[in-house]
Amino acid sequence: MNTMQRSGSGSLQSPRSPSSQAPFLSVSVTDPAKMGNGVQAYISYKVITKTNLPEYQGNEKIVIRRYSDFVWLHDRLFEKYKGIFIPPLPEKSTVEKFRFSAEFIEMRRQALDVFVNRIASHHELRQSDDLRIFLQADEQTMDRARFQETGIFKKKPADLIQIFKDVQSKVSDVVLGKEKPVEESTPEYEKMKNYIFELEDHLAEAQKHAYRLVKRHRELGESLSEFGKAVKLLGTCDDDALGKAFSELGEKAEIISIKLQKEAHHLLMNFEEPLKDYVRAVQSIKATIAERATAFKKQCELAETIKFKEIDLNKYRLTRSEKLAEAEREYEMLKAEGEETSRRFDTIVRLMNEEIVRFQEQKTSDMGLAFHEFAKGQARLSNGIADAWRSLLPKLEAHSS
pLDDT grade, residue 245 (50/70/90)? Answer: confident
Q: What is the 3-state secondary structure (H, E, C) of 186-252?
A: CHHHHHHHHHHHHHHHHHHHHHHHHHHHHHHHHHHHHHHHHHHHHHHHHHCCCCCHHHHHHHHHHHH
Class of residue 213 by CB neighbours under 10 A (exposed 0-12, middle 13-18, buried 19+) = middle
Pairing of strands 11-12, 42-51: unpaired
**323-371: per-residue pLDDT in tens?**
889 989 999 999 999 999 999 999 999 999 999 999 999 999 999 999 9
pLDDT at site 171: 46
pLDDT at site 361: 95
Q: Nearest-CA neighbor of 128 among 60, 74, 63?
A: 74
Count, in order, helices (H) and strands (E) of the chain: 10, 5
Sign of the dihedral through C-alpha 166, 168, 173, 176: negative
pLDDT at site 154: 54
Say how many C-beta atoms besides its own lie within 10 A of residue 183's C-beta: 10
Q: What is the mean pLDDT of residues 190-202?
A: 96
Q: Nearest-CA neighbor of 137 among 64, 51, 225?
A: 64
pLDDT grade, residue 180 (50/70/90)? Answer: low
Q: Give 72's Cβ-side CA count (13 Å radius).
A: 22
Q: What is the mean pLDDT of residues 118-145?
A: 93
Q: What is the mean pLDDT of residues 192-204?
A: 96
Among 34-48, 105-119, 135-149, name the most confident range.
105-119
pTM: predicted TM-score of the whole model, two decimal places: 0.81
Distance from the Cα of residue 190 to its chain's centroid: 24
